[in-house]
Amino acid sequence: MSLDVSDPSLIPSLTRMMHRPRHAAGDDALRQLRHHSKNALQRILAQLWHSEDLQATPEGRRLVRDLENRISLSAGISDDLFGFTREPRPLDERLRSLCEKVVGLMADPDQRIALTLQIDGACPDHLENVVLRIAHEMVGNAVKHGLHVRLSGRITVEFGWRGQGWQLRVTDDGWGPSPGAVDGDGMQLMRSLSEPYGGRIVMSRQDNTTSVTLDLPAADFGSH
């Protein structure tokens, strides 16, 4: 089979491949961690499937299927974030896939969480990874904290150009932050990820809706 590189439909994919950085030591460390985690989770899942007690009841079999699905979602999130096993897709596809998987992974089995995404414009290549990684934390926090023990809820993810820079915003109709609460690990990680790009993270609460916003300036804050 031959590849026609003159095909216009291939230009975005080829451009991303050409500008993708070479693997560094950090990439290899993440690969090894993912490989180790996958092997460990597969072994745990195999033991669950072979547990006579779990297989003896519908509830036990349902639990194993739920765990299998969550393990699969976790592996898919790793691919959406880091693209270790396939060539990365355009940001809008990766962002949608990532957010859907995070909700599926973090939600309780009986929860019904509506997810809406609004993506406006193409993100600069050098900002794609930081947008994805921060979106991962924002959506995870919305499910884990905002919608904790709620039977239903709504999460909206918005990304696009906002006048002088790019903005990622995740809103949920959950509980909201506790008064006087300090930043947790997720918020600290988001700030750490955004700082090299001149980014700013803000959380607000209005009309029973919590918003976490990342603002990234248009100026390039260096080569990343």
Residue 170 pLDDT exceeds 90? yes
Tokens 């019904």 — which residue?
112
**pLDDT over 70 at 19, yes or no:** no
Using 50, 70 and 90 to split pLDDT, how confident is the model at 2?
very low
**pLDDT class of 48 with cuts at 50, 70, 90:** confident
Short-list 219, 103, 91, 120, CA closest to 172: 103
The domain ranges of the chain are 9-88, 91-224
Do 41 and 93 contact (CB within 8 A), yes or no?
Answer: no
Least reliable range by pLDDT among 129-138, 171-180, 191-200: 171-180
What is the mean predicted confidence (pLDDT) over 17-21? 44
Contact present, 107 and 146 (Cβ < 8 Å): no
**How many other β-carbons are positioned within 10 Å of the β-carbon of residue 149?**
8
Q: Say how many residues make up the chain.
A: 224
Question: Is domain 91-224 annotated with CATH 3.30.565.10?
Answer: yes
How much is the pLDDT for 224?
44
Please report the pLDDT score of residue 143 as a whole number.
95
Residue 99 predicted with pLDDT over 60 = yes
Band (pLDDT 50/70/90 cuts) for residue 64 is confident
